[in-house]
Structure 1
Amino acid sequence: MKSLLLCSNTRTPALFKKHINLTTPFRWLGCIALIFYFQFSFAQQQTGTIHGTVKTSDGKPAESVTISLRETHAGTTAKDAGNFHLNHIKPGNYTLVASFIGLASQTQQVEVKAGETTLVNLVLTESSQQLNEVQIKETKNNKFAAKKSDYVAKMPLDNLENPQVYSTVDKELIQEQMVTDLNGALKNVPGVTLLLQDDGSGGDFASRGFVTDSYLRNGMAAYMQSTVDPANLEKIEVLKGPSATLFGSSYTSYGGLFNRVTKKPFDTFKGEVDYTAGGFGLSRLTLDLNTPVNTDKTALFRINVADEHDGTFKDAGFSDHVFVAPSFSYKVNDRLSILIDAEIYSQNGTVPFRFFPEVGFKVTTPQQLHFDYDRSFTNNDITASRPTTSVYSSVNYKISDQWKSQTNVSYTNTANNGNFSWASVLPGDTKVVRYQNPGPDMTTDYEVQENVIGDFKTGSIRHRLIVGLDLLSYTEKSSFGYLAFDTVSISGPDPEYGALNANSLNAKLAGVPYSSDKNTQYDYAAYASDVINLTDKFIAMLSLRVDRFDNRGDDNYIADTTTGKYAQTALSPKLGLVYQLLKDKVSLFGNYMNGFQNQNGSDHDHNPFKPQEANQLEGGVKLSLLDGKITSTISYYDIKVNNVLRTDPDFPQFEIQNGTQYSKGIEGEVIANPFAGFNIVAGYAHNDSKYENIDATLDGYRPVSAGPADVANLWLSYAITKGDAKGLGFGFGGNYACKNNIINESDGVFTLPAYTVLNTTAFYDQPKYRIGLKVDNLTNKEYWVGYDTIIPQMPRRLSATLAVKF
């Protein structure tokens, strides 16, 4: 009877469900716990236990030695006194393996009997001093400084060898900070700030003065209209500066790109279930399960799952999504391996309003508008669904010891079936018009990429060369309407505020005309990049891309017309130099990098427009000191954008292509592990961006899409590494952004104020479980982000996580 009650739909206090929303996950976890209880009771009678100690050659306890059974997936770690336990082992004969990073493994045969405990005493060949020396060496590794990448240069290349600046946020930092969305992860990257939430692929961000998005997964196209769930992230790579030479222009910006690197299968059984609950209705359950498929471990499978409900601090609004990410790898032989993975989203929720102030306002800040911070201006029954399916595969073939072939294919289909909601603040500063743009929008992209990668020498000079071909196909189908629903007060009571709901909206939409359009684009490219070791310390990178863009035009099915067809060819070069003052410790670097955006149309004299181009010059220093305990990058960049379109002063109905934009600044990042358990992630960026030779109202002004000029990030954490409290830790940090003009022209300025937002965590991490607490926005700061828009951000929220590892 108790088990039936545990799984039934028992009553829960309404207030508790409203704020925590745990009912369904708790029933699920309760059922799972009940099943595990019966399995555990039965297994205790059918299995045995191994209990033992492991000591060094001089008789002292050996801490942190890994103990495993070769014939099973069972394993554990020796505690401070050298004790270990392996429970629920099936009867039989096994090989017990004791291993420690940097030391040779040792084995011992053991027999396990049902219902009995087998005692084992292991003695290592190393002394306690030798073990301590190895342990000290290993703990010097800086766990948050995961800089080596196979994607940034499209070939394996160490950070100090790469002339491009990039930052990495890995899963360890994401876990420690209890991150549940892309914005939470990117807060750790210098110079990156949120501009728009809920805008597809995790939102829009500012980087080096340009809007930048997370449109790449494992280096391939993967634009999504749904959110980005961090459950499947191994790390996020943030490349800085124009990166079209290796990645094209369709899914990169002049500020760089965000590449989502997904979790891959590995050759041991391991799993983890996490549950997070928090204020404003946060309820999140995740699973990460990995297992070999066959006995020789050539076939591996991993799956990551997330089920999340999140509410809002406003009077209406919610988001629900289920995320499933299976991946499978197969090593056919020593030369050929295959990886296939997918990400599948089912998302539904309300669409947050965006508030657009107008030029010429009497007020210049959100506070002066007396904006109701916790009003949503919408209703919970006006929702949008955003399904996404994304599939990636990679086939790697070793041609020889010096050459390999890599064939990558990606496919993504994503849709937005609902409204785009926005509000325009009227002159007079007291009213807003609530607009609705309903209609389905679906995009599909395919990308096929063939790379041949070599590592060889010509004489004494080493070459790491990649030659690639790239085909990208993009199709968008949309059907949109346009409705000014009503006008309501921006603050204070208004009897018409609740008039916007699904029934009233659908009634008004009945007479709204809809468009019906389709756009198809193709991008054909070839590229090559050669990393040349002229000496052991002096490296040059020479890269070039040839890109052919073919826009098949916009098909208007209602008017039965096709407009906007055009094609353009662009060359994108890249040059980088690296000189290592101290080998693998200090590198001086410089780069010239190029980006481009295709432009349609022609001027008054019928001259077709050329691609817009951005050219970056950058120089700086990269450090990896004290065996990697301190890593840092400091750089100065100067980006100039040419061929910017502006209104022709002589023929105002036409445009000319002689405008420019400058973006220059400094960036600094430090990731450090000064002593065992203590970690620092810090960054600062200053950006100076402005238009020149542009329309008169904008000439000389900072673009509103550039974001704040000064931003900083800091995260400090400490975890106890020894003793009874080992695994207990605390984290504290935050982000600063200076004031940001979201209207910035000669006719008027509207400013979002500067903000400092602080967050803190406490955690207890053990081999079998992890507990975490987090407070977001510790000081309950009211602040806004946006460009062209006013978007209030979440106030203080407390959340808690419980993870079970197996």
Structure 2
Amino acid sequence: MKIRSVLVVCFTAISLWAFAQQNNASIHGYVTDAEGNLIEGANIVIEGSGRGVSSKSDGYYEIRGLSGGTYQVKTSVVGHKTTSQEVRLGEGDSRLVNFVLEAEVSQLSEVVLSGHKKEKYNVENVSSTLRLNQELIKIPQNIQVITDDVLRDQQIFGMREGVGRNVSGVMVMEHWGNYARINMRGFRIPAFRNGMNFTSQWGPVAEDMAMVERIEIIKGPAGFMLSAGEPAGLYNIVTKTPRATPGREVTLSTGSYGLQRATLDVGGKVDKAGKLLYRFNAMGHTQKTHQEYGFHDKYLLAPSFKYLFNENTTLTAQYTYQYSKVPELGSPYVFSPKGYRDVPRDFSISHPGIDPSVNKEHSAFVTFEHKLDRNWRVTAQLGYLSGAQESSDIWPDAVNENGDIYRRLYIFDGEEEHKLGQVFVNGEVQTGPVSHKILAGLDVGSKDILYDWAESHRIDPEDHPFNIYAPDNSHAVIPELDRSTSLRKRASDAGTIVGQQYTAYYAQDELGFFDDRLRVTLAGRYTNLDESSWSGKTSDGKFTPRAGISFSIDDNTSVYGLYDQAFLPQAGTDRQGNTFDPIEGNNIEGGIKKKWFDGRWNTSFSYFRITKENMLTADPEDPVNNSIQLGEVKSMGGEFDLRGEITSGLDLILNYAYTDVRISKDTDPEVVGKRVSGHARHMSNGWLKYTLQDTGLRGLNVSMGYLYMAKRATWDSVWGIEGAQTLPDYFRLDGALGWSNEKFSVALNINNLLNEYLFSGSSYSDGQFYSQQSEPGRNFRLTLGYRF
């Protein structure tokens, strides 16, 4: 029996070795257009074999595991003519085969500044800032990308406008001030910029789209990016960087509420050799809002440079300055003793004599990339962000049944400084018939955040309250807020200094079997994190595993499964003085992805279940003063996403998500099963654009889009206030009309076509009154663009 086993093992090993020797040839190269621009997402297929790959962000492709022979290799991408070459390989050959694709004449009218490419809603690969050296369809996770073409078509100007309309299950939450609070799968997700975590309690400043190349939404924990955070996922803003192809564009916009906006995007080569590239983005924006006294003024400066030492080594430097001025924080909220929609949607509790809130933010990145050889690459990046906020916050002390309120003005100043660093390597190796895509790296970071909201003054006299049904600001007294001492001293006195330092090590190996049709991902991340805040100090070190599997049914269809973890530190102690363990977030996810019609459009469906364990809940022995770790929350649901060009000239985004988030464990049985705020059970959105082809009106396009939410969970969901009003279903319809050619473009977008009274909100103060934030009624944006 032992001899037979040994023979079987030896025979298997010899067979695998022989198989590897017979399939060790490869084809690799670059895909470019006629002007020499590298093309991402081109499909390179060996005809008759079912084997194929997509070109990466640098235009590079490689097909491995081939035996000797003659192959017909075909390359295609939307907007360019398909081409093919005959390639002869000997055993063990590695043949360089480059492709130069000619543009389709019928598509030339759709050339735009962003990379001089045809507009597209779907992409084949994630950005290099996500570190993954793999096609989207093969990654065992639901990742969605909002392209610059979507942002342009929908005339999205700010981060808060663009995410919830284009990805399944993503909700933009209520907010104080100019930052984006984004929820997904029921929890707030961290804000990344170029692969670096700039999240803070009230930051970073919401990015203006003039600086944004794409928005990447990673659903579920992403151990290759982050473990110390919410298990729902993250979003990554990819900013615009230099390209070798010259590009120059200016846009002018006008619209409702006195909108005046201008953007400039120029770039190209600094020197004749093309070693030094530059890009400069600038934006100026002023606009009132639909609410009385509301406004938003901002501007942006974003220069960047890239130096190409050689074909293997680059250095990129980026700097961005954002300035934003809005009314005092809290002013978007209105209050009523009766319920929602009790006051006109343009109503405000603000006062024109209150100083505005001003945010100033500097951010910088330096990125070094070096290809060690055609299989290995190292990337190192430094990131820095400095933000300052001088502002105030208005909020009512109470809301009486007759509509009287006494408004209180709080100081709300803040500063934050983030210093981040990362270095990682991507590599590919072959061990017999098994391929390996390896990712390993180190992340370090330090965050120093200060806030002061200690000082406050009532602005309405005792005998002259402000009445929401008969507003009168004539009796209000606006105080002078005390900023005579430094913010750091004020924050120190108030105990509102937040600090965080972390170091994380991670490694991931994606093993490919059967010519890479079956892929198994094994990864782990160890994070050591020290954190201090007004709730105390904590220090945690935790290992979080990650395991995934993905199988390609054919070249255009894959199924996957994933298990991943995240954790959230918790400060404080229980009644016995024991420190609390971190919250553990566990995500189990599975799905199917498919590309249709040569990758023109794609679909994905995913099912997920997230469990957050070790959450704090009231101590039954002392519920007022102490907590214990027994709480648990479960989030589960399904998501569907479709995006791309359905047929020539017809682009579509269509999404749906079912999300249910509930308390599954607590010391109080009354709250078990209650829904958690921050999600809608049903969410769907869509955007359909049709561009006329090969007619006298070529370049004319018309679009229509919607956003629908049903059974929204409010902030009072857990409180279970008897008789509290529920939020009505939400439906918004938008439309657009545009035209463009090689030089000029014009776009008219009309949002909220049905002029619906749209809002979010919740009951407040144990159900004594209601708060809400409203959205604008029917409004328009008109943008003219010129490329030169």
TM-score tier after normalising by the smaller chain length: 0.7 to 0.9
Structure 2: tracts of 5 or more residues without a match? 1-32, 38-78, 84-99, 112-116, 765-770
User: Structure 1: which 5+ residue stretches go unaligned?
Assistant: 1-65, 71-99, 105-125, 555-562
User: Could you tell me how far 1:268 is from its partner in structure 2?
Assistant: 2.1
Q: Which residue in the other structure is 2:563 paired with? A: 592
Within 5 Å, give how 1:611-626 maps onto structure 2. Answer: 611-626=582-597
CA drift of 1:680 comes to: 1.0
The 5 Å alignment of 1:495-514 reads: 495=472, 497-500=473-476, 504-506=478-480
Correspondences of 1:352-363 after superposition (within 5 Å): 352-353=329-330, 363=338
Give, as a single letter, the amino acid of the residue that structure 1 aligns with 2:627: E
**SS in structure 2 opposite 1:280?**
helix
Q: Which moved more, 1:770-779 or 1:598-607?
A: 598-607
Q: Contact 1:743–1:750 (CA<8 Å) still a contact in 2?
A: no
1:376 correspondence with 2:384: no
User: Structure 2 residue aligned with 1:177, among 134, 145, 154?
Assistant: 154
The equivalent residue for 1:531 is 510
1:630-645 to 2 correspondences below 5 Å: 630-645=601-616
User: Among residues 709, 712, 723, which one is paired with 2:695 in the alignment?
Assistant: 723
CA contact (8 A) 1:291 1:302 kept: yes
Instruction: Give the Cα separation in 1 of the matches to 2:280 and 2:256.
Output: 28
What is the letter of the counterpart of residue 747 of structure 1? I
Contact 1:419 1:438 in 2 (8 A): yes
Correspondence 1:368-767 to 2 at 5 A: 370-381=342-353, 382-423=355-396, 426=399, 428=401, 430-486=403-459, 488-489=465-466, 491-495=468-472, 497-500=473-476, 504-506=478-480, 515-516=491-492, 517-535=496-514, 536-551=516-531, 564-583=536-555, 585-652=556-623, 653-694=625-666, 696=668, 698-704=671-677, 706-740=678-712, 741-744=714-717, 745-748=719-722, 749-767=724-742
For 2:619 and 2:334, how far apart are their aligned partners in 1? 27
Match of 1:196 in 2: 174
Q: Secondary structure at the match of 2:716?
A: strand
Q: For residue 790 of structure 1, what is the aligned residue in structure 2? A: 772
**Structure 1 residues 514 and 450: alpha-carbon distance in aligned structure 2, compared to 1, 3 A threshold:** closer
Is the aligned partner of 1:229 residue 2:232?
A: no
Cα RMSD, aligned residues only: 3.1
Residue 238 of structure 2 is matched in structure 1 by 261
Once the 2 structures are TM-superposed, how far is the Cα of residue 775 of structure 1 from its aligned partner?
A: 0.6
Give the whole-Å Cα distance in 1 for the aligned partners of 2:543 and 2:756: 47
How far off is 1:786 after superposition? 4.5
Task: Return the alpha-carbon distance in structure 1 between the equivalents of residues 568 and 402 of structure 2.
Answer: 37
Matched to 1:796, the amino acid is R
- Is the 1:222–1:390 Cα contact (8 Å) retained in structure 2? no
- CA–CA distance in structure 2, aligned partners of residues 131 and 378 of structure 1: 56
Three-state SS of the structure 2 residue aligned to 1:589 is strand
Counterpart residue type for residue 785 of structure 1? S
Cα distance per residue 1:599-627 (max 9 Å; x no partner)? 11221222211110110111111010111
For residue 174 of structure 1, give the secondary structure of its aligned residue in structure 2.
helix
SS in 2 for 1:709: strand
Query: When the two structures are superposed, what TM-score results if normalisation uses the length of structure 2?
Result: 0.79
| Alpha carbons 2:227, 2:527 under 8 Å: kept | no
How far is the alpha carbon of 1:429 from its aligned partner?
6.9
2:783 is aligned to 801
> Is the 2:334–2:349 contact (alpha carbons within 8 Å) kept by the matching residues of 1?
no
> How has the CA–CA distance of structure 1 residues 643 and 469 changed in structure 2, closer, same or farther, with 3 Å as cutoff?
same
Equivalent residues of 2:507, 2:524 under 8 A apart: yes
- 1:316-362 Cα offsets, whole Å, 9 max, x none, are 1111111011111011123321111121112222135368899xx98
> What is the rounded CA distance, in whole Å, between the counterparts of 1:581 and 1:377 in structure 2?
58
Cα distance, 1:196 vs structure 2: 1.9
Whether 2:138 is the aligned partner of 1:158: answer no
User: What is the CA distance between 1:588 and its match in structure 2?
Assistant: 0.7
Distance in structure 1 (CA, Å) of the matches to 2:466 and 2:348: 13
CA distance change for structure 1 residues 678 and 521 in 2, over 3 Å: closer, same or farther?
A: same
Given the superposition, is the C-alpha separation of residues 717 and 469 from structure 1 closer, same or farther in structure 2, using an over 3 Å criterion?
A: same
Map Cα deviations across residues 216-262 of structure 1 (whole Å, 9 max, x no partner).
1111123444331001111100111123x222255x43221110011
Q: For 1:549-572, what per-residue CA distance to the aligned partner results, in whole angstroms no more than 9, with x for missing partners? A: 112566xxxxxxxx8233111121
1:752 Cα deviation from its structure 2 partner: 2.4
SS in 1 for 2:304: strand
Instruction: Pick closer, same or farther for the CA change 1:362–1:328 going to 2, 3 Å.
Output: closer
Deviations 1:753-791 (A, max 9, x none): 211111111000110110111111111110112567511
CA distance in 2, matches of 1:499, 1:574: 61
Letter paired with 1:769: F
Secondary structure, counterpart of 2:152 in structure 1: helix
Question: Given that residues 636 and 659 in structure 2 are in contact (C-alpha distance below 8 angstroms), is that contact kept between their aligned partners in structure 1?
Answer: yes
Amino acid at match of 2:521: M
Deviations along 1:429-462, one digit per CA (max 9) or x if unpaired, are: 7233423221421010111101021111111211
| Cα distance in 2 for residues equivalent to 1:316 and 1:486 | 17
Amino acid at match of 1:222: F
Q: Does 2:226 match 1:248?
A: yes
Aligned-partner residue type, residue 127 of structure 2: D
SS of aligned partner of 2:480: helix
Per-residue deviation, 1:167: 1.0
How many residue pairs are counted as aligned between the two chains?
665
- Is the CA contact (8 Å cut-off) linking 1:780 and 1:796 kept in structure 2? yes
- Are 1:464 and 1:532, in contact at CA under 8 Å, matched by a contact in 2? yes
Q: Give me the whole-angstrom Cα distance separating, in 1, the residues matched to 2:377 and 2:757.
A: 53
After TM superposition, the structure 1 stretch with the greater mean CA deviation from structure 2, 683-692 or 475-484, is: 475-484
1:594 CA drift (Å): 1.2
Structure 2 contact 425–439 (Cα < 8 Å) conserved: yes
Letter in 2 for 1:322: Y
What is the distance in 1 between the residues matched to 2:483 and 2:450? Answer: 20
Distance across 2 between alignment mates of 1:687 and 1:673: 28
**Secondary structure at 2:521's aligned position in 1?**
strand
**Corresponding residue SS for 2:224:** helix
**Counterpart of 1:24?**
none
In 1, Cα distance between equivalents of 2:248 and 2:332: 44
1:777 aligns with 2:756: no
The amino acid across from 2:754 in the alignment is T
Deviations along 1:690-741, whole A, 9 cap, x unmatched? 112226364321112x222111101111011223211100100110111423
Q: Secondary structure at the match of 2:520?
A: strand
Deviation of 1:425 (Å) = 5.2
Provide the rounded CA distance (Å) in 2 between the counterparts of 1:628 and 1:728: 24
Identity across the alignment (%): 23
The amino acid across from 1:272 in the alignment is E
Does the 8 Å contact 2:655/2:684 carry over to 1? Answer: yes
1:341 matches 2:318 = yes
CA contact under 8 A between 1:221 and 1:446: conserved in structure 2?
no
Kindly provide the amino acid, as one letter, of the partner of residue 218 in structure 2.
L
Cα 1:134–1:572 change in 2 (3 A) is same
In 1, distance between residues paired with 2:440 and 2:402?
A: 57
The residue type paired with residue 674 of structure 1 is I
Residue 453 of structure 2 aligns to a residue in which SS? Answer: coil
Q: Is residue 216 from structure 1 mapped to residue 192 from structure 2 by the alignment?
A: yes
